[in-house]
Structure 1
């Protein structure tokens, strides 16, 4: 029996219909996540199209229809159509010419099944006709999706040897869509875990953070440790750290705070700043991510004594991270905006203090007392200043 894609709201987009008309309905198929997630009744954020048309032809047809395109990955056959309701990636059908576990050399193809056969999992190799919504399923992906079975297309070990990152992708997709584990996949991930060492750190970081962004990543991270995968990509994470991750997720749920992958990565590391620095450098995190990770690693028990003082000195985001990592209450910070000290150095100069280090020292002392007293109003700040000047 042929499966039919449900008529979700995104399938009724007028701008998408214009794009399909420009390409030709028989030369376009919805593919990948949009098809998979629609079958599961999930919200759709990105729509991708596959086509036998070459990129130049895609660009020409879109141009004739007045649709702007951007060659976002034209070397690999991808053109992005800029539409009013959101961009759509259009990728020419491909086949692998050679692979080395890190990158693939591809050639353009003309057969839908040939394109499907190079994808990783059966549930990601689903194509839907844009008009009839009939699904082309070459490897039993619809049935696997219904059963919660995340299964590689072909032999698991062979697919992983083609692209080692598929080990981490397996755990991510298993956590999102899987029920029982696929034994062939698990065995292949265990035996080939060492191949992850050859991947770029950016690719590893991208997948690791994607796993940590899942609603409940702890069981998946635990399975990765059990199979020897976590030791390869994050040897700093031991049993105690994995337990800390579980506690953090529970605290986030209790406090109603959205889970954050960088905060959760901090839970998988010992609270030592130099360790966090090393991990951030190794994974080549962005400067913002690196700063956040290292600041979270600086957490101490005394942080919980005065959450607002912590937020004042370290910033609200860092305060939330450090409190949540210690299982503390964040109620004091909820709907509270970090204030600014209502005093400037120039005002101290006007009180007769010569400009220079003395002004800075007095300002710091006033600030410390102001924070300690719970950020009182300007009148109290003046009184604190008077006391400091008298002293």
Structure 2
């Protein structure tokens, strides 16, 4: 019998209260930890979210929590998920399910009390693991414990069948392989490559979420490099060409920062470039937020200016501090700069104040320029001259003196 050491959260009073509430309704053993927390405990990795599976139906789960006085929200009741909240901590509780129908994007499910049937609808052996409140591990596929301990990411059963149930599993395979596998599984990889066109039918939101989760990994390079090597990336990022099989700039940026946005900028820079047209296509397909799109766009503009040797103060004034910092990361990656060199520049930028244009429209109006298009043009031209001359006050003084005469 395999047991896992329970983390502090897994054995907290709040967690035990949830287990007790459900077991009061469904009996001892009707609820178990599932998936990531069990897998990570076996592999000695940090545990974050605590997900639970139960033999109770969603209605029964709600009734049990209500009886115990535990607040709960039907976050995904149609799919079997009720979220309990105890002492501010959320617990996603999902009823055991089996697939009735799948179309590669979504599944129609029915509820069951059979742990094995629930396990068989999951993606990888190491994700189909359950554990009770005492830490005893249950492995319905018979392969999950071994795969977790040996660092293997393999589809449950026949890989192509699991992928056809949900093509997002292709992207999950690359993410989990980068995060948990010692080596990429050849049979699973072959199935992903054979069915990669199925990614085209997925929603942009689901692809975006998976890409961002992958970028959060300590080292996301193996995932994207493998997708690049096997021509999966064009199905993930529209317009993808990829200028290097090993994504050198992306690899360099990943070694410099764990900021997901900067990593995404570097990935796109190496795969499609940062032109407005290319970024707009990505935003449209992956449903990127306007905030993220603006950051991608501004970083591209700042990188172009940096390539033209624009001073940092000018870069920050024209493009903002964030875009300037992003451009520095990208430029450092292109030039293979050491982390110490990047840190030096970042410290320098932190000490720079963004200049403030010292002239107002009223300053020009008092010198004879009337309100209207001419005033706006004169103000803009004066600002451009001031910026191009490194914010020289003498440029301002000469211009205002000339107007006063």
Coarse TM-score class (shorter-chain normalised): 0.7 to 0.9
**Is the contact made by 1:262 and 1:289 (CA closer than 8 Å) also made in structure 2?**
no
SS in structure 1 of the partner of residue 243 of structure 2 = helix
**Is the contact made by 1:280 and 1:293 (CA closer than 8 Å) also made in structure 2?**
no
Given the alignment, which residue of 95, 117, 120 partners 1:117? 120
Q: CA deviation at 1:165?
A: 1.1
Query: Match of 2:339?
Result: none
Query: Match of 1:325?
Result: 330
Distance in 2 between residues matched to 1:249 and 1:337, nearest whole Å: 31
2:281 paired with 1:269: no
Q: Deviations over 1:155-194 (max 9, x none)?
A: 1111111111111110010000011221210111121112
Query: Match of 2:350?
Result: 334
2:22 paired with 1:23: yes
Q: CA distance change for structure 1 residues 357 and 173 in 2, over 3 Å: closer, same or farther?
A: same
Query: Match of 1:258?
Result: 259
Distance in 2 between residues matched to 1:39 and 1:337, nearest whole Å: 50
SS in structure 2 of the partner of residue 26 of structure 1 = coil
Distance in 2 between residues matched to 1:66 and 1:351, nearest whole Å: 73
Distance in 1 between residues matched to 2:244 and 2:299, nearest whole Å: 14
Given the alignment, which residue of 373, 384, 401 partners 1:390? 401
Q: Deviations over 1:245-281 (max 9, x none)?
A: 4324324534x56343432342221232212211221
Given the alignment, which residue of 139, 149, 154 partners 2:152? 149
**Is the contact made by 2:253 and 2:266 (CA closer than 8 Å) also made in structure 1?**
no
SS in structure 1 of the partner of residue 46 of structure 2 = coil
Query: Match of 2:338?
Result: none
- 1:270-349 to structure 2, matched below 5 A, reads 270-298=273-301, 299-300=303-304, 301-302=306-307, 304-327=309-332, 329=342, 330-331=345-346, 332-334=348-350, 336=352, 338=354, 340-349=356-365
SS in structure 1 of the partner of residue 315 of structure 2 = helix
Q: CA distance change for structure 1 residues 4 and 370 in 2, over 3 Å: closer, same or farther?
A: farther
Tell me the TM-score normalized by structure 2. 0.85
Q: CA distance change for structure 1 residues 350 and 48 in 2, over 3 Å: closer, same or farther?
A: farther
2:181 paired with 1:165: no
Q: CA distance change for structure 1 residues 374 and 14 in 2, over 3 Å: closer, same or farther?
A: farther
Given the alignment, which residue of 133, 137, 140 partners 1:138? 140
**Is the contact made by 1:212 and 1:264 (CA closer than 8 Å) also made in structure 2?**
no
Larger CA deviation: 162-171 vs 278-287:
278-287
Larger CA deviation: 200-209 vs 95-104:
200-209
Given the alignment, which residue of 79, 83, 86 partners 1:83? 86
Query: Match of 1:9?
Result: 8
How many equivalent pairs are there?
Answer: 382
Distance in 1 between residues matched to 2:11 and 2:248, nearest whole Å: 41
Q: CA distance change for structure 1 residues 161 and 373 in 2, over 3 Å: closer, same or farther?
A: same
**Is the contact made by 2:35 and 2:129 (CA closer than 8 Å) also made in structure 1?**
yes
Query: Match of 1:45?
Result: 48
Question: Unaligned regions of 5+ residues in structure 2, if any?
Answer: 336-341
**Is the contact made by 1:79 and 1:89 (CA closer than 8 Å) also made in structure 2?**
yes
Distance in 1 between residues matched to 2:112 and 2:353, nearest whole Å: 56
Q: CA distance change for structure 1 residues 257 and 122 in 2, over 3 Å: closer, same or farther?
A: closer
